[in-house]
Amino acid sequence: MDLEYSEEHRAYREAVLEFLKGWPLQGEEANLPEAEREALFRQRGIDAGYVYRNVPKKYGGAGEPADPLRDAIVREEFFRVGAPWDLLNQGAGMLVPTLLEFGTEEQKRRFIPKALTGAERWCQGYSEPGSGSDLASLQCRAELDGDEFVINGQKIWTSNANEAHWMFGLFRTEPQARKHAGISYLLVDMSTPGVEVRPLREMTGGSEFNEVFFNDARVPVTNRVGEAGGGWAVSRATLIHERNLIGNPNMMRDCFEDLLTLARKTQRGGRPAIEDPHIRQRLIEIEGYVRTVETSNMLQFSATVRGDALKAMRPMMMNKLYSTDTMQRIQRCAYDLLDGEGMLAPSAEDITGWGRNTSSTGWVEAYLFSLGPAIAGGASNIQLNIIGERGYGLPRDARPPEKT
């Protein structure tokens, strides 16, 4: 065990820091519009081998050999100065890895570069009103008609659908096949006639999610990724990428620090709440969970770097539930610290989801958000099944036969 970096990696960090002296942009460039500044610097980062390190050059990445430690150093330093780095949206974060694994050469060339620059924004079309935790029961049909699919049905919980150019999603292309086997993974241009986006309103007052309706929307058959009816396997791979986006320990630490700030600001019996023995007990108990997330993350990271990920399999499959549970503990504690201001509604600026919380109403929003669909019943029950069955070899539930 050694928490210091090797000489090689220290040197690499030096190089990264040297490169980062170029951000923020100086001189003429500093006057460019924000989006252009970011795009410019991101491209420099790609060229220098720091951004999209593992995406091949021919698709617009840096094409560097895999080195999770270098990844971590770059991420750490880019974040420290707020420099534009890999986009973490659904295009670069989820679609690109999927295409790299399952896409045709043509699909890769067509879609990856623009997803990486953000020139084309993507949304994810998985959930449907009738299929929540039971994702594979989805009903949105895509019927083959010549060399096009004709899509009818509905998706829900589609974040950013209102500003996305494209959707990747699962559609039932072979209704006669068994449940998991009749699904294909398609790429849908959101400007296709017959595609309509309607924002959902959440109980927080925010509108982070949308419904997407399909009414005879036509998609070329070349937009299918992977085999016909093989979409389930493709999406599983994508979900693994999604899981890597969740449970970021830095976000957790920030959230905990915000809680401490609240506990310093709030009064209990004429003193800051952080001096109250009851609150101290709760805070340290929560910190135990936060530190567990942080250190377990280090453990998993090191195991992955060593190619020993199997050893960290159990904590890895626990990450999602453990992180959301921990976030909920933080948010519940903050909410409990609020007195009368716990009766106030979040304002528009408070609607930040997992973002930083600095006001009472921000914490009310965070509390409500913590009840949200990311962690809702079905989802956590499915996580528990995974842990019990795959992690500890417990038997599956007795289930009714699958519908065909």
Partner 1 sequence: MEFGLSEEQDLLQETVRQFVSEQCPPTQLHAIFDAGEGHAPALWQGVAELGLCGLMLPEEYGGADLEVLDLALVCEELAYGGLPGPFMMHSLAAHAIARAGDSDQRGRHLPALADGSAIATLALAEGEGAWRPEFWSTRSEGGVLHGTKRFVPHADLSDWIVVGLSDGRLALVEKGAAGLTVVPEEGIDRTRPIGRLEFEGTPCEVLEGDGAVLERIGDVGLTLLAADAFGSASRLIDLAVEYTKTREQFGRKVAEFQAVKHQLARLALEIEPTRALFWYAAHAVDHRPDEGPRSAALAKSHISDRAIQAGREVVELHGGIGFTWECDVHLWLKRIMFDRAFLGTPESLRERCAELEGW
Paired residues of 268 in beta bridges:
271
The least CB distance from residue 400 to a copy of itself, in Å, is: 7
Stretch that binds a copy of itself, among 83-91, 107-115, 269-277, 388-396 (CB under 8 A): 269-277
In order, the DSSP letters of 26-70 are -GGGGGS-HHHHHHHHHHHHHHHT-SSTTS-GGGTS--PPP-HHH
398 near a copy of itself (CB under 8 A): yes
Amino acid (1-letter code) at residue 223: N
Instruction: Please identify, using beta-carbon distances, which residue of 309 and 384 lies nearer to a copy of itself.
Output: 384
> Which has the closest alpha carbon to 56: 118, 101, 120?
101
The least CB distance from residue 136 to partner 1, in Å, is: 9
Instruction: Please identify, using beta-carbon distances, which residue of 23 and 335 lies nearer to a copy of itself.
Output: 335
242 as an active site residue: the answer is: yes
By CB under 8 A, the residues from 130 to 149 that bind partner 1 are 130-134, 137
Largest CA distance in the chain: 75
Among residues 82, 146, 193, 340, the one that binds partner 1 under rule CB under 8 A: 340
- Residue 264, classified by CB atoms within 10 Å of its CB into exposed (0-12), middle (13-18) or buried (19+), is exposed
By CB under 8 A, the residues from 141 to 170 that bind a copy of itself are none
Amino acid (1-letter code) at residue 234: V
CA atoms within 13 A on the CB side of 297: 21
281 near a copy of itself (CB under 8 A): yes
**Alpha-carbon distance values, 335 to 107, 322, 361 (Å):** 47, 20, 10
267 near a copy of itself (CB under 8 A): no
Instruction: Please identify, using beta-carbon distances, which residue of 276 and 365 lies nearer to a copy of itself.
Output: 276
- Helix intervals (H) in 82-148: 90, 96-102, 105-117
Size of the site for a copy of itself (CB under 8 A): 10
**Binding mask 156-175 vs partner 1 (x if CB under 8 A, - otherwise)?**
xx------------------
Among residues 66, 176, 278, 343, the one that binds a copy of itself under rule CB under 8 A: 278
- Taking the C-alpha atoms of residue 289 and residue 147, their distance in angstroms, rounded to an integer, is 53
Q: Torsion over CA of 306, 311, 315 and 317, rounded to 10 degrees?
A: 100
> Which has the closest alpha carbon to 286: 313, 256, 308?
256
Interacting partner of 308 out of a copy of itself, partner 1, none (Cβ under 5 to 8 A depending on kind): partner 1
Say which of 77, 143, 202, 242 is annotated catalytic.
242
**Phi then psi dihedrals of residue 184, to 5 deg:** -120, 155
By CB under 8 A, the residues from 233 to 252 that bind partner 1 are none
The least CB distance from residue 23 to partner 1, in Å, is: 24
Tokens describing residue 392: 């500890």
76 near partner 1 (CB under 8 A): no
- Taking the C-alpha atoms of residue 88 and residue 100, their distance in angstroms, rounded to an integer, is 16
Instruction: Please identify, using beta-carbon distances, which residue of 30 and 398 lies nearer to partner 1.
Output: 398
The CA radius of gyration of the chain, in Å to the nearest whole number, is 23
396 near a copy of itself (CB under 8 A): no
By CB under 8 A, the residues from 82 to 101 that bind partner 1 are none
Cβ 125 vs Cβ 212: under 8 Å:
yes
Stretch that binds partner 1, among 101-109, 114-122, 249-257, 340-348 (CB under 8 A): 340-348
The least CB distance from residue 395 to a copy of itself, in Å, is: 13
User: If you search the block for the tokens 């820091």, which residue do you land on?
Assistant: 17
271 near a copy of itself (CB under 8 A): no
357 near partner 1 (CB under 8 A): no
387 near partner 1 (CB under 8 A): yes
Question: What residues act catalytically?
Answer: 242
Q: Which residues make up the interface to a copy of itself (CB under 8 A)?
A: 268-269, 276-278, 280-281, 398-400
